[in-house]
Structure 1
């Protein structure tokens, strides 16, 4: 087969390449799961996943060479992935003797995968211009390497089709979402939530949360626009920095808005237009009271910004500006699912608030956002199940070996 010949040529050339074996720390006793990540940004997802694995399973984590390795934490051992060349791969495998491999995203390494004789699970990987370390210079290589995996979980039909074209059989393919860390459930005081909800009654409410002071003019403009049609509209405003709350209060009063300040013990009365929180510490409360939320820092080039899954997991309909870093991937997924709306300025924000206060539109968006935000937990559960099966059947695997008995979705 052309693929086998190409893989043989690649492995022969890799054996002649450079790359010395590195000193490794001792291998822990017992079962060892080897996880390869394409970057440190994946670590929070992995940490959440490992909480579902038996406590006696140790985790060896490899990251691309050149990555700054975070300190070893808990039962995780963090190392650089070995060189493809020379005897580095075999020395690495002989030392660690992993019982199963979870490969998450990134480019595949043919020499490493060809010699790794243990159950192998691929998550969020598919043949694209980045998947093979040597790129398009090795035609047919993907068709020789991809079948080494016993199962692949990919997000979407396009990725599944690419893996199928690379030779992975349908019974080893599974459509799943991204392996995300679960969205944190923001706490709130239930008694306060209940009392405030009773006080607000049927008033339309929206939230501008984690708001930098620079964005306040846009929020005021949006409120004035939306309040023309939304009778008795209430804005809950949570500043990003607690020490800026007095400056927010002055600016809101100067704009002619009737403000109630939580720091002063005020409650939102019937004539209150803005309820000013005293900082970001009660976001869980505000998100439960306001079905519609604009998350701050996305209209200006501000640093940071809250992860949108916090709000989406609580059923909030989300609005954001064009500045989505450092959570661009999460925002893109929410946008694609129809769970968020992007705006460019205060005028567009006002029109978006006006439109999305309609319950019929909000319900569909909120449900879509909840699906996206909680999908990672479902995928983590599935991956954890497959890992447990793999660790229970640590037999050699590969294109010529029978795949371990990883449960099909229908029987899981």
Structure 2
């Protein structure tokens, strides 16, 4: 009855609780929705019944029961949705550009806003969501540093993200933070911490109940163990990662941060483990499987995996083929700056070329790409 009166215009000015609810749900003022306070003597714009009907048709099914109950939602409700949209925009920027200072600063600004708003939240649930968003923004800033190869300061961000995830009581956010800490430790060469952090990710509630998350954690443990010169344990962890991924349902919705993980990424991590433990032929095969499975839109993943493929070929003594493969990285990334993490990998490749007996092909590659990979 009440909704029908709104749509017909019989009720032109709902009570305050309803007005606040409608504004929070729609993100627009009640005046914009076409409601008019007839008691006010000031002139107001003419009512737009089409706008009001359109809004009610699209939202009443999801929210009418909530509005009819009377209490207005927390002021933070609309902010939660807005901040989630901002976080999605930052992820899209990361996909396009990779880690850089602007992304880091924007993520930190989002974290500060989410933390500020949680103090004003009227419900514990909204407060937890805002804490979780603050943790997610802080994790995005951390990833920006890791991807850009600027590792200083990342520990401080991760400590903050871990605290925020705990306040949010968000198991998946906790796993994301431990996953990043494992990656950071590996980049720094602290392999015991890389393993311990990946094991902490494996112990989270989300990893215990989700085969997808468990698979990623097992793979991170495997990479850390391989660098720590424990090949048998590393390969055993890879096996567990494969078994867990086989149990994961690819049709189930997943959080944006782990959308990258699947067969292609596991093949890519397998290539790293196989190369590090001294099996470059298997590393090459795994890299080819990863490239075959990668979606075309994952351009940076494709470039990074291609660089790993070039390293595996180089480690088999095939410098000519390795140089040809390594050169395609720049073709894949044409028009986009190389993230610091990728430049570091290409630096490893270039040093490997120098360590081998110089050939015209390797000298040409070094002369052609040295400036490009070192300053891109």
Give TM-score scaled by structure 2 length.
0.26
Which structure is higher in RCO with an 8 Å CA cutoff and minimum separation 6? 1
Q: Which one has the bigger strand percentage?
A: 1
Give TM-score scaled by structure 1 length.
0.24
